[in-house]
Structure 1
Amino acid sequence: LHVRLGPCLPRAALLSRGRPPPWSSPRAWLGAACPEKAAVAGPAPEDWGPEPGSWPERLADLVTPLWRLDYEQQLRVKAEALRGILERLEARLRALGSPGAEAGALCSRLQPFRPSPVIDGYRNKCNFAIRQGPDGRPRTVGYVLGSRREQQLVCVQPGHLKHIPEQHQRVARCYQAFLHQSPLEPYVEPHGRGHWHELTVRSTRRGHTMAIIAFHPQQLRPGELWPHKEHVKEFFTQGPGADCDLTSLYLQENVQCDQQQPCYQLLAGEPHIFEDLPGLKFRISPGAFFQINAAAVEILYRVVGELSGVDPNTLLLDLSQGTGATSLSLAQRTAQVLSTGLVGQAVEDARWTAAFNGITNWEFHADQVENIVPQLLKSQETGQSLVAMVDPSRTGLNSQVVQAIRNCRAIRTLVFVSCYPSGKAKRNFLELCCPPNPGKDLLGEPFVLRQAVPVDMFPHTVHYELVLLFTR
Structure 2
Amino acid sequence: MPSPCWCLRSRKPPRGVSTPARGQRRAEPERRIRFGSGLPCEWALATKPLPSAMALSWARRLIRRPACLKWVALSTAPEEDCRQGAGRHETPRKRWMKEKKPRQGFSLPGLECSWEERLSSVATPLWRLAYEEQLKVKAESQKKVLQTLASRLREHGTDKLEITQRPDGLCCPLHPVVPSPIVNGYRNKSTFSVNRGPDGNPKTVGNYVGTGRAKNIVCVRANRLQNVPEKHKQVAQCYEEFLQQSPLDPCLLFHEGGHWRELTVRTNSSGHTMAIITFHPQDLNQEELCTQKTLLKEFFTCGPGAVCALTSLYFQESTMTRSSHQQSPYQLLYGEPYIFEEVLGLKFRISPDAFFQINTAGAEVLYQTVGKLSQADKNTILLDVCCGTGAIGLSLAHQASKVVGVEMVEQAVEDARWNAAINGISNCEFHSGKAEVVLPQFLMSREDDQPLVVVVNPSRAGLHYRVVRAIRNCEATRTLIYVSCKPDGEAMRNFLEFCCPPDSRKKLVGEPFVPLLAVPVDMFPHTMHCELVMVFTR
Q: Normalising by structure 1, what TM-score?
A: 0.86
1:145-175: per-residue Cα shift (whole Å, max 9, x none)? Answer: 2357974322101101110000000000000
- Among 92, 102, 113, the alignment partner of 1:53 is 113
Aligned residues of 2:147 and 2:171 also touching (Cα < 8 A)? yes
Matched, 1:243 2:307: yes
Matched, 1:325 2:394: no
Aligned mates of 1:147, 1:288 — CA distance in 2: 29
- Among 379, 389, 397, the alignment partner of 2:455 is 389
Aligned mates of 1:223, 1:111 — CA distance in 2: 59
Alignment partner, residue 401 of structure 1: 467
Alignment partner, residue 223 of structure 2: 159
Q: What letter matches 2:137 in structure 1?
A: V
The SS at the match of 2:395 is: helix
The correspondence of residues 142-153 of structure 1 with structure 2, limited to 5 A, is: 142-146=206-210, 151-153=215-217
Matched, 1:101 2:164: yes
The correspondence of residues 264-343 of structure 1 with structure 2, limited to 5 A, is: 264-343=330-409
The 1:360–1:150 alpha-carbon spacing in structure 2 relative to 1, beyond 3 Å, is closer
Alignment partner, residue 290 of structure 2: 226
Alignment partner, residue 140 of structure 2: 80
- Among 245, 248, 253, the alignment partner of 1:189 is 253
Aligned mates of 2:192, 2:182 — CA distance in 1: 22
Q: What letter matches 2:133 in structure 1?
A: Q
The 1:408–1:205 alpha-carbon spacing in structure 2 relative to 1, beyond 3 Å, is same
Aligned mates of 2:302, 2:72 — CA distance in 1: 44
Percent identity reads 55
The 1:249–1:447 alpha-carbon spacing in structure 2 relative to 1, beyond 3 Å, is same
Alignment partner, residue 112 of structure 1: 176
- Among 488, 511, 520, the alignment partner of 1:445 is 511
Matched, 1:373 2:433: no
Alignment partner, residue 62 of structure 1: 122
Aligned mates of 1:301, 1:203 — CA distance in 2: 20
Aligned residues of 1:206 and 1:276 also touching (Cα < 8 A)? no
Q: What letter matches 1:286 in structure 2?
A: P
Q: What letter matches 1:72 in structure 2?
A: E
Aligned mates of 1:249, 1:178 — CA distance in 2: 14
Q: What letter matches 1:424 in structure 2?
A: E
Larger Rg over CA atoms? 2
Deviates more, 1:448-457 or 1:324-333: 324-333
Q: What letter matches 1:229 in structure 2?
A: K
The SS at the match of 1:241 is: helix
Shift of 1:418: 0.8
Deviates more, 1:329-338 or 1:64-73: 329-338
The 1:130–1:148 alpha-carbon spacing in structure 2 relative to 1, beyond 3 Å, is closer
Aligned residues of 2:387 and 2:393 also touching (Cα < 8 A)? no
Aligned mates of 1:189, 1:246 — CA distance in 2: 29
Alignment partner, residue 429 of structure 2: 363
Aligned residues of 1:252 and 1:265 also touching (Cα < 8 A)? yes
Shift of 1:386: 1.8
Shift of 1:260: 3.9
Deviates more, 1:390-399 or 1:132-141: 132-141
Aligned mates of 1:82, 1:310 — CA distance in 2: 26
Aligned mates of 2:328, 2:398 — CA distance in 1: 31
Alignment partner, residue 30 of structure 1: none
Matched, 1:415 2:470: no
Aligned mates of 2:290, 2:407 — CA distance in 1: 37
Shift of 1:377: 4.7
Deviates more, 1:309-318 or 1:197-206: 309-318
Aligned residues of 1:324 and 1:342 also touching (Cα < 8 A)? no
Alignment partner, residue 151 of structure 2: 91
Aligned mates of 1:165, 1:261 — CA distance in 2: 30
The 1:52–1:149 alpha-carbon spacing in structure 2 relative to 1, beyond 3 Å, is farther
Q: What letter matches 1:397 in structure 2?
A: L
Shift of 1:116: 0.2
Aligned mates of 1:294, 1:133 — CA distance in 2: 31
Aligned mates of 2:464, 2:212 — CA distance in 1: 33
Q: What letter matches 2:165 in structure 1?
A: E
Alignment partner, residue 419 of structure 2: 353
Aligned mates of 2:256, 2:119 — CA distance in 1: 25
Shift of 1:468: 1.0
Aligned mates of 2:215, 2:284 — CA distance in 1: 33
The SS at the match of 1:101 is: helix
1:255-293: per-residue Cα shift (whole Å, max 9, x none)? Answer: 477764641000000000000112200000001110010
Shift of 1:132: 1.5
The SS at the match of 1:443 is: coil
The structure, 1 or 2, with the larger RCO (C-alpha pairs under 8 Å, 6+ apart) is 1
- Among 482, 492, 495, the alignment partner of 1:426 is 492
Aligned residues of 2:349 and 2:418 also touching (Cα < 8 A)? yes
Structure 2 residue runs without a partner (length 5+): 1-34, 37-65, 74-109
Shift of 1:15: 7.5
Shift of 1:188: 1.1
Alignment partner, residue 69 of structure 2: 14
Structure 1 residue runs without a partner (length 5+): 3-10, 19-49
Q: What letter matches 1:288 in structure 2?
A: A
The SS at the match of 1:305 is: helix
Shift of 1:138: 2.3
Alignment partner, residue 186 of structure 2: 122
